Structure 1
Amino acid sequence: MKKITALFLLIASVTVLAGCNTVNGFGKDVEHVGEKMQSSSDRNK
């Protein structure tokens, strides 16, 4: 029973860490696009 619990916790930890990394990368991409839009808007005033 302890082995099954440990395996489940390991799989859950890896899944959560992978998800956080993906969300973090997505956030950086969105931020980059926002910065480009803002600089383009500033140039066209």
Structure 2
Amino acid sequence: MLRKITLALGLAALTLGASACNTVKGAGQDIESVGEAGDRAI
């Protein structure tokens, strides 16, 4: 159950982050920040 919630939140953050960035560099930073947030959560 916790894994599903974490996955849903991660996907939501990725979607919002991807829609907010305007460049490829920004997309890379967004993906990196989501990965770091996942590491901190685990």
Q: TM-score, normalised by structure 1?
A: 0.47
User: 2 CA distance for matches of 1:11 and 1:20?
Assistant: 14
Identity, % of aligned pairs?
9
Could you list the runs of 4 or more consecutive aligned residues of structure 1 that deviate by over 6 angstroms after TM superposition? none
Q: Gaps (5+ residues) in structure 1? A: 28-45
Considering only CA atoms, is the larger Rg found in Structure 1 or Structure 2?
Answer: 1
More helix by share: 1
RMSD after superposition: 1.0
Higher relative contact order (CA 8 A, sep 6+): 2
Aligned residues: 23
